[in-house]
Amino acid sequence: MPELPEVETVTNSVKKHIINKSFKSIEILWLKTLHNFTTVDFKQKIEGKNVIDVFRRAKYIIIQFEKNLLAIHLRMTGKLYVVDSFDKKQKHISLYLQFDDKYLIYEDTRKFGRFYMYENMDILNDKLGIEPLSDSFSQKWLIDGLKSKKRQIKSLLFDQSFICGLGNIYIDESLWRAKIHPLALSHKISKAKIINLHNSIIKVLSDSIKLGGSTIRDYTYDFAYVGNYALNLKVFGKDGQKCPRCDYIITKIKVAQRGTHYCKKCQRK
């Protein structure tokens, strides 16, 4: 479930429960979930320390402590939520942390998600690109960025070291709004279309955040999380249906190994 709007939604939901709290213990059920630290590191550096902030950077949820931070990446099927109690035999729970009399649960069917521990944000900031909802993401920045590369636009938008937070759903939606073919070469796209793309990215992401993302499932504890943006999708998952703009049938192809939905009639190369 995780592109920028979903990660933002999860971050805010978890934040209100764990801010100013401290974790008493960690229990790991799928060992690989901890990517660069161990239970011993957790006990020494995190346990008993106050959570001073929780925020999102790209598709990472950051839990900030005074001297260290946990960065959580949900990948495809990760879920992070707080409960008062849970069934320890429940399938797919990769790990859980205890605080007060509650649990912060990390559940992940496909087990791709990871927890990282860092002293600060430097390592992540070095490899992550611009935040599309920040002020520095300007029209000029996007024009210069696309013109300086010669890449298929969908692949470029996937590149987290260029722009971070976009994924398969919001790329298809943004390109449809901007009337850009997903295979168009970045340096050949007109300025006018790039400006439309800039507006589309901001519009699609911020609208989705307002509706709690495009999540189909909710998270049982916090019902704030039933993402309703799925109802607003125009092309993603709509192959075989009519384009809402021109009535032509939406096509599905593969771009960068990912299912890609677009309208052949209004998204020309």
By CB under 7 A, residue 231 contacts DNA = no
Pairwise CA distance, residues 57 & 226, whole Å: 22
- What is the secondary structure of 242-265 as a DSSP string? BPTTT-PBEEEEEETTEEEEEETT
Which one among 23, 132, 167, 204 touches DNA, defined by CB under 7 A?
167
In the bound complex, what is the minimum distance in angstroms from residue 67's beta carbon to DNA?
24
Q: Is 47 a catalytic residue?
A: no
**H-helix or E-strand spanning residue 125:** helix 122-127
Pairwise CA distance, residues 264 & 178, whole Å: 13
By CB under 7 A, residue 112 contacts DNA = yes
Which residues, other chains included, contact 247 with Cβ-Cβ below 8 Å and sequence gap of 6+?
none
Q: Is 56 a catalytic residue?
A: no
Of 124, 45, 115, 35, which Cα lies nearest the Cα of 80? 115
Which one among 20, 85, 122, 216 touches DNA, defined by CB under 7 A?
216
In the bound complex, what is the minimum distance in angstroms from residue 85's beta carbon to DNA?
22
By CB under 7 A, residue 70 contacts DNA = no
**H-helix or E-strand spanning residue 29:** none
Q: Which stretch binds DNA (CB under 7 A): 42-50, 95-103, 134-142, 212-220?
A: 212-220
Pairwise CA distance, residues 170 & 75, whole Å: 15
By CB under 7 A, residue 198 contacts DNA = no
| Catalytic-labelled residue, pool 5, 56, 59, 114 | 59
By CB under 7 A, residue 169 contacts DNA = yes
Q: Are 58 and 75 in contact (CB under 8 A)?
A: no
Q: Which residues of the shown chain bind DNA in the complex (CB under 7 A)?
A: 1-3, 6, 32, 58-59, 73, 75-76, 91-92, 109-112, 127, 149-152, 155-156, 158, 160, 167-169, 213-217, 227, 255-259
**Catalytic positions, please?**
2-3, 59, 258
